[in-house]
Chain A
């Protein structure tokens, strides 16, 4: 991204100067105070839900509620285990893993092709792929559903992963192409001189250099597949194939309309904890990916 030069409204020199460079605008105390307050507001929902799921289910449903559990209890998670949470964790993991692997493979091959090879229609095809971003997949759900039925992939985790891969591709291709384009030509040439095949060059030489981009692409694919709700809601009709977000909907319809709050929020925790952990571990890649994608 290039910050275009803008009219900067320069004033004539010689005006009375203020004390120069007070850029560290806020005094430490004020800054910590503000940030701390905002941070508390941001952490409040997460902290509260983490505490609540450790209550017994009757305590979690108490009116009025209290902040801290009186007794630490694994009851909600045990009940969640009885409600087959493993199956849905597995479903979500399969879809997320499939999406990650598929996206990384397709985007690596495609990104390499677009970055390093000249073929007829190259820029047109690349731009065409990028315009996919212009059409949100929410708008395509109805026909996509018909396509999946035609391919016999409706109500299938494979079909869901294929859809997720497709809608990850524009961003992933963009990131991978840029990553490959930045690698000096000499490195690649040297490998080819040694008589290495295209794929060997890609695997031995190119990918190792582009690993940060691969991680970025993988992270994006993971988060979107793990969290996606609407497509999963429509494309999966068999409860045994639900992914976690859709499974949560079944926890709400409790018997006689009474929601088992502890159970529902335990389900929420199981759904969000993997995301939070992965984010905290790999946040550098993720944030960098977002920013580089953002400043295209």
Chain B
């Protein structure tokens, strides 16, 4: 009796487990996970691949951007991950270190166009000298400004700000021109956004937030450039040069203020350009590099890497997709053509950059850009409860710059020390 019941129980649960499986054909089916930000172009890319390859079929799954790391990490840890994943380069150190991705070093170096790849991307996908992902899509941060508002405030739209002081002056002029206009906007409660658009101010002034080797990293928030950059944002906030919505914007409504035509300056990247052009086609805008305190410039080189899961049973087929999608022709046609910065230098500068001045600027920003390299990037920067977001909130909106830095420094050290 008991055996019968146990067997019944197992049978019933096994039936459930097996119901999911069951497919067989000559074509190899590969699963590809991508984050939702990319949905604009990635389905076209996948469709094109499927049409031109009869023996391989890519099945695309879009994961909400805020859950991507978590979903992918848990899935690969449970050996149920996809064959291929398009991963934000910020997270590549984490996954490269963890040993769940295939080592692509040898195959990558055999590609004729390997030297064309963006170095910052390659750097973030490398762990202990081995390469775990190839550049897939590029993005970089620059400062956009509304030329109409510049003109209305008596500013020369051909002379964008080159220092923090100039940003402040211009923002004051626009805000003073009335009609509910404000000079500047940023998503104050969004770690990813502020890493992308605020960190470059620190870099451009010669500062940094992390030092040391990946295995032995330390936060360096107490160096003066960080405080200076926070003070810069604080000044903009205190003088109401930034809309109040900034404080609680967790990124979901980041484009709205600039799209409304009431905000003069707003930093974003290639993805942002697409969104802005789509939502507010009549917006007159231009772009300029994100400046340092006394000049100079920097940008955050972002975008995605394409990686193969070590657990995939179709390494060869997956590599075929990787090689195809990073090739010059595909990068030009399906990336550059839709406004995504191609990750091959020649394609970016020959096909993409000449289209307009913003694209040229973005291409430059990508190929000279930097990124955060840390296994704990998510906990340090992106986590909405993390030290980076908390520091910006405490310093910029509450004004406790020194204590915010001290606390973030200690909490980043804590994150890097624990596990």
Interfacial residues, chain A to chain B (CB-CB below 8 A): 91, 94, 97-98, 101-102, 105, 109, 148-149, 152, 154-158, 161, 199-200, 203, 234, 237-238, 240-241, 253, 257
Whether the pair B78, A109 counts as a contact (CB closer than 8 A) is no
Expressed in whole angstroms, the Cα–Cα distance for A257 and B65 within the complex equals: 12
Expressed in whole angstroms, the Cα–Cα distance for A98 and B75 within the complex equals: 24
A-B contact pairs, 18 of them (CB 8 A): A97-B12, A98-B12, A98-B13, A98-B16, A101-B9, A105-B2, A105-B6, A109-B2, A148-B78, A149-B78, A149-B79, A154-B74, A155-B78, A155-B80, A199-B2, A200-B1, A234-B74, A237-B80
Whether the pair A156, B2 counts as a contact (CB closer than 8 A) is no
Q: Which residue on B lies nearest to A153, using beta carbons?
A: B78
Whether the pair A154, B78 counts as a contact (CB closer than 8 A) is yes
How many residues of B sit at the interface, in one of the four size bands?
20 to 34
* Chain B residues, CB < 8 A from A238: 75, 80
Contact flag A155-B12 (CB < 8 Å), given A105-B6, A199-B1, A240-B20: no
Residues 325 to 375 of chain B near chain A (Cβ within 8 Å) = none
Tell yes or no: B26 within 8 A of A by CB: no
Residues 367 to 388 of chain B near chain A (Cβ within 8 Å) = none
Expressed in whole angstroms, the Cα–Cα distance for A253 and B75 within the complex equals: 20
Tell yes or no: B215 within 8 A of A by CB: no
Whether the pair B9, A105 counts as a contact (CB closer than 8 A) is yes
A-B CB pair tally, cutoff 8 Å: 56
Expressed in whole angstroms, the Cα–Cα distance for A224 and B20 within the complex equals: 25
Binary interface encoding of chain B residues 59-91 relative to chain A, with 1 for a CB under 8 A from any of its CBs, else 0 = 000001000000100110111100000000000
Tell yes or no: B17 within 8 A of A by CB: yes
Whether the pair B78, A98 counts as a contact (CB closer than 8 A) is no
Whether the pair B17, A158 counts as a contact (CB closer than 8 A) is yes
Q: Which residue on A lies nearest to B19, using beta carbons?
A: A90
* Chain A residues, CB < 8 A from B80: 154-155, 237-238
- Other than A94-B16, A237-B74, give 5 A-B pairs with Cβ distance below 8 A: A94-B12, A101-B8, A101-B9, A155-B75, A155-B80
* Chain B residues, CB < 8 A from A241: 20
Whether the pair B79, A158 counts as a contact (CB closer than 8 A) is no
Tell yes or no: B252 within 8 A of A by CB: yes
Q: How far is the CB of B254 from chain A (nearest CB, A)?
A: 11
Whether the pair B13, A94 counts as a contact (CB closer than 8 A) is yes
Expressed in whole angstroms, the Cα–Cα distance for A91 and B9 within the complex equals: 15
* Chain A residues, CB < 8 A from B64: 253
* Chain B residues, CB < 8 A from A94: 12-13, 16
Q: How far is the CB of A55 from chain B (nearest CB, A)?
A: 26
* Chain B residues, CB < 8 A from A154: 74, 77-78, 80
Contact flag A157-B5 (CB < 8 Å), given A149-B78, A238-B75: no
Q: Which residue on A lies nearest to B64, using beta carbons?
A: A253
* Chain B residues, CB < 8 A from A148: 78
Choose among A101, A109, A237 the residue that contacts B12 (Cβ–Cβ < 8 A): A101
Q: Which residue on B lies nearest to A98, using beta carbons?
A: B13
Interfacial residues, chain B to chain A (CB-CB below 8 A): 1-2, 5-6, 8-9, 12-14, 16-17, 20, 64, 71, 74-75, 77-80, 252
Q: Which residue on A lies nearest to B6, using beta carbons?
A: A105
Choose among A156, A234, A253, A257 the residue that contacts B17 (Cβ–Cβ < 8 A): A156
* Chain B residues, CB < 8 A from A199: 1-2
Expressed in whole angstroms, the Cα–Cα distance for A149 and B9 within the complex equals: 21
Q: How far is the CB of A194 from chain B (nearest CB, A)?
A: 17
Expressed in whole angstroms, the Cα–Cα distance for A241 and B74 within the complex equals: 14
- Tell me the interface secondary structure of chain A in the complex: helix
* Chain B residues, CB < 8 A from A105: 2, 5-6, 9
* Chain A residues, CB < 8 A from B2: 105, 109, 199
Q: Which residue on A lies nearest to B61, using beta carbons?
A: A239
Expressed in whole angstroms, the Cα–Cα distance for A54 and B410 within the complex equals: 53
Q: How far is the CB of A99 from chain B (nearest CB, A)?
A: 10
Q: Which residue on B lies nearest to A94, using beta carbons?
A: B16
* Chain B residues, CB < 8 A from A155: 75, 78, 80
Expressed in whole angstroms, the Cα–Cα distance for A238 and B19 within the complex equals: 14
Q: How far is the CB of A189 from chain B (nearest CB, A)?
A: 21
* Chain B residues, CB < 8 A from A257: 252
Expressed in whole angstroms, the Cα–Cα distance for A234 and B70 within the complex equals: 10
Whether the pair B252, A158 counts as a contact (CB closer than 8 A) is no
* Chain A residues, CB < 8 A from B75: 155, 237-238
Whether the pair A237, B71 counts as a contact (CB closer than 8 A) is yes
Expressed in whole angstroms, the Cα–Cα distance for A270 and B334 within the complex equals: 42
Expressed in whole angstroms, the Cα–Cα distance for A207 and B12 within the complex equals: 23
* Chain A residues, CB < 8 A from B78: 148-149, 154-155, 237
Whether the pair B13, A161 counts as a contact (CB closer than 8 A) is yes
* Chain A residues, CB < 8 A from B71: 237
Q: Which residue on A lies nearest to B76, using beta carbons?
A: A237
Expressed in whole angstroms, the Cα–Cα distance for A186 and B44 within the complex equals: 76
Whether the pair B79, A152 counts as a contact (CB closer than 8 A) is yes
* Chain A residues, CB < 8 A from B5: 101, 105
Q: A-B pairs with the 4 shortest C-beta distances?
A: A154-B78, A237-B75, A158-B13, A94-B16
Q: How far is the CB of A287 from chain B (nearest CB, A)?
A: 28
* Chain B residues, CB < 8 A from A203: 1
Expressed in whole angstroms, the Cα–Cα distance for A101 and B71 within the complex equals: 31
Expressed in whole angstroms, the Cα–Cα distance for A97 and B75 within the complex equals: 25
Expressed in whole angstroms, the Cα–Cα distance for A199 and B3 within the complex equals: 11
* Chain A residues, CB < 8 A from B9: 98, 101-102, 105
Expressed in whole angstroms, the Cα–Cα distance for A105 and B4 within the complex equals: 11
Whether the pair A157, B17 counts as a contact (CB closer than 8 A) is yes
Q: How far is the CB of A208 from chain B (nearest CB, A)?
A: 14
* Chain B residues, CB < 8 A from A161: 13
Q: Which residue on A lies nearest to B13, using beta carbons?
A: A158
Expressed in whole angstroms, the Cα–Cα distance for A154 and B13 within the complex equals: 14
Contact flag A149-B77 (CB < 8 Å), given A101-B9, A253-B64: yes
* Chain A residues, CB < 8 A from B17: 156-158
Q: How far is the CB of A137 from chain B (nearest CB, A)?
A: 18
Expressed in whole angstroms, the Cα–Cα distance for A157 and B12 within the complex equals: 11
* Chain A residues, CB < 8 A from B12: 94, 97-98, 101
Q: Which residue on B lies nearest to A238, using beta carbons?
A: B80
Expressed in whole angstroms, the Cα–Cα distance for A97 and B13 within the complex equals: 9
Expressed in whole angstroms, the Cα–Cα distance for A200 and B1 within the complex equals: 8
